[in-house]
Amino acid sequence: MTKKSFPLIVNYLKNKCMEKVKLLGAQCTLRFGRYTNNTIAIQAYNSEGELWCVPTVNYEKFFEGFNYKKSFKFPAVVIKNYSENEGIYDQLIKEGVILQGLYLSGSGGTVQCAVLTEKWQEIARKQLKIKSRK
């Protein structure tokens, strides 16, 4: 991230992402995006507007199931719960961002799927410009 882009991110976060959650010791705002295979990505920014962590992972090349893209389409997310993200899965549940899901086979219990809660589905829909199902 360049210093030139930093104020843009801070302004975006102040105007668009008002919900804060505590992740890995910091108050964060969440920004939703997409991986190249169209599955959901989440980035968490701290109060200074710096990228704090990326709770999600694109696990497609390791997926042992039938169809990754269909299995993990919105509002499903795949959470990386190891290394620098250890413990983030439970924190996302505690903060009301996701609902508990299953471990992905082949991950040794460190990559888990989940579904965004209704509240966070609406926030993600707005950020991703996905039309509501209503």
Q: What is the mean pLDDT of residues 75-95?
A: 97
**Confidence check: pLDDT of 15 > 60:** no
- Average pLDDT of the residues of the chain: 87
pLDDT band at 35 (very low <50, low <70, confident <90, very high): very high
Phi then psi for residue 70, to 5 deg, are -75, -35
Q: At 68, list the tokens.
A: 């990754």
Distance CA 91, CA 86 (A): 10
Distance CA 78, CA 115 (A): 9
Residue ranges per structural domain of the chain: 6-128
